[in-house]
Amino acid sequence: TVAHSPHQEVAPLACADCHANIAQHIATGDAHLTVECSACHFQPDVVTRDEESGVVRLSAVDEQGSALDMTSHQMVTPVDCGRCHYPGNQVGAASAALPPKGLLCFVCHDASPVLYAGNIGGETSGLRFDWVSAPALLFFFLGLALASSIWLRGTVDGKADVSIGEKLSYIVGDACNVFFSPRVFTLLKYFIVDGLLLRRTLRASVSRWVMHGLILWPFLGRCLLGIFTWCMAQFWPTALLTQTLVDKNAPAVAFTYDVLAVLVAIGALWALLRRALDAQMREVSTAGDVAITALLGAIFIFGFVVEGARLLVTQVPSQQAIYSFGGYAFSLLLRALPVTWSSLYPYLWWVHAALVAAFVAYLPFSKLFHLLAGPLLLTIRGLASEKE
């Protein structure tokens, strides 16, 4: 962007008035809402943190005590994350710059659909391929391909000698006939009533319906909230709602995400107890079934540990941190440990990412995959029964 010249200030202006690129910030690491633009982008590299507001800004003086030149408008590209992210920093930053929440995180966080990552050692030069997300997604799509190959073994109108290409053409043709006809409303009805609201599960067992709902609905809620936040950041970056949604410490946002995470954790623990205490469930459960459910619960519970460490590192005031009640509770426990959390936090973040990667990689090969495939299959079954 070429700024107007000369810079004749007739009214106070912020950098974001011309450079509204919050989505780019999220895609390369974090929104950095409590960091002034000059702290990262101005050529002088001496930064400080305001103790009252918690805002990280460019220092008024350099290391020798001389006043810094604030009028040059000389920007730094790429940004050197090492200004703040180094061991022992005094600005409330992790000791290493973390990668963005990418494609793997997109279903549960305000993230970006990217497959790039930084370096846990804190290198500041560029971004690298995400070797955590990429293998997980590779296994996930291989699992989808395997499941699809099994589904495609079925017959078409009682004919077993139909090729895969012909079966796919039948599927595409039937889908077009539904989507471009009044039957699309019937499709939506079964998708909502049977696929999302789990009507068939409710008819079979109320407790099982509640358990499945505790896992599916909060997970779906976090996914939709994350997608909505990304869309707002892309198209309306300066809107007040966008600024609130991308602020993980905003009371409403923090409380909503933590409530949904607690519900998923409760659902996962309930499922584990059901498998342990119900003799009939134990007979049909495998070690893999227990592992994938335990992994789901561990992701969200350990997520609270990571959040608690983040609250300590970034020095979020208690009156604000309490809205992230899950992370805040863990922060009270973590504070008592003789640990430098700014140094440990990046490793906790990567452990959480590894748990998510393991879950995503194994999901298509587990029974828990029915949480994703179930709504689609129930919708198709409902349409087929009504057609008959």
Digit-coded pLDDT (tens) for 69-95 = 666 666 776 777 888 888 988 888 888
What is the distance between the alpha carbons of residues 370 and 225, in angstroms, rounded to a whole number? 22
In a domain, 338, yes or no: yes
Question: For residue 355, is it within any domain?
Answer: yes
Q: Is residue 89 situated within a structural domain?
A: no
Q: Could you tell me if residue 329 is inside a domain?
A: yes
User: In this structure, is residue 86 part of a structural domain?
Assistant: no
Note the pLDDT of residue 373: 81
For residue 83, give the nearest of 43, 116, 139 by alpha carbon: 43
Per the domain annotation, does 282 fall within a domain? yes
How many independent structural domains does the chain possess?
Answer: 1
In a 13 Å sphere around the CA of 125, the CA atoms on its Cβ side amount to 0
**Under DSSP, is residue 252 helix (H, G, I), strand (E, B) or coil?**
helix
Q: Which residue has the tokens 């810079």?
A: 7
Per the structure, the complete domain to which residue 139 belongs is given by 134-387
Q: What is the pTM for the complete model shown?
A: 0.86
Residue 162: exposure state from Cβ atoms within 10 A (0-12, 13-18, ≥19): middle
Looking at residue 125, its pLDDT comes to 41
Q: How far is CA 157 from its chain centroid?
A: 42
Q: pLDDT below 70 — which residues of the chain?
A: 1-21, 27-29, 44, 62-65, 68-74, 77, 115-129, 386-388
Q: Is residue 90 part of a domain?
A: no
Backbone angles phi, psi at 40, to 5 degrees: -105, -40
User: 276 — phi, psi (to 5°)?
Assistant: -80, -35
Q: List, for residues 154-207, the tens digit of each pLDDT value.
A: 777 777 788 888 888 888 888 888 888 888 888 888 889 888 898 989 999 999
Residue 365's pLDDT is 92
Q: Do the domain assignments include residue 159? A: yes
